[in-house]
Amino acid sequence: MSVPNQGKLAKEINETIRYTMWSVFRLDRPLGSDDRGAEAVEVEELVARLAGDDVVVRGAYDVSGMRADADLMIWWHAPTAEALQVAYNSFRRTALGSRMVPVWSQTALHRPAEFNRSHIPAFMAEEEVRDWVCVYPFVRSYEWYLLPEDERRDMLREHGMQARPYPDVRANTVASFALGDYEWMLAFEADELHRIVDLMRELRASRARRHVREETPFYTGRKRTWTELTDLWP
């Protein structure tokens, strides 16, 4: 059954300017015997203050072991890029943030989907945050934007159909032209990690894949509370 206001909701969201950012850090100085609880509380209080300014931390993710070069990924979004920069530096001024070395960070912006304007990022629709996330950038081939619109639309339709058996994997596709080295950012969210793995493998067989010339790095992690993170790390 269709949702009566679905079209209106998509239209309102597509008219909204909202930036998002994924920031990845490496723990450079172990917590050791320091007060882990106090450092977690300090970040929790910062997150609460940021929320008062409409800067939302969608999740803090443990990426340790998934990558040898990183331990933490923060996913946040806000009305302006400047607000995200303030949040980023505010975190780095905390006791926990001062232990971290930046590894990678990328900003993106929600813009209406290329053809299917009802395709809304899960975070923009304020969907429930899932337990796992897989984040990666991608850059289209030089030919992609010169192809006839019908041909591109057909390939993206096929791509979407291949994802239909995975309704539990929620997609977030956002534009990053001029905001870094990439054209698009994509974050897949799911409660079961293997579902993301299976979907990504399925999508390898799409024709649109021929028009991807860059899609690394990948950062995948489990959503954790700040207390869980500080208890987990060395």
Residue closest to 125 by CA, chosen among 3, 14, 1, 4:
14
User: What does the alpha-carbon distance between residue 164 and residue 160 come to, in Å, rounded to a whole number?
Assistant: 7
Q: Looking at the DSSP assignment, which residues form a beta bridge with residue 100?
A: 27
Burial of 72: CB neighbours in 10 Å, binned 0-12, 13-18, 19+: buried
User: What does the alpha-carbon distance between residue 115 and residue 108 come to, in Å, rounded to a whole number?
Assistant: 19
* Residues 191, 132 contacting (CB under 8 angstroms): yes
136 is a catalytic site residue: yes
Residue closest to 46 by CA, chosen among 229, 233, 232, 226:
226
Catalytic pick from 19, 61, 88, 136? 136
Q: Is 159 annotated as a binding residue?
A: yes
Q: Is 54 left (phi over 0), alpha (psi -120 to 50) or beta?
A: left
Angle at 51 (CA atoms; ends 72, 131), nearest 5 degrees: 40
Which residues are annotated as part of the binding site for Fe-coproporphyrin III? 159
Which residues are annotated as part of the binding site? 159
Residues with catalytic roles: 136
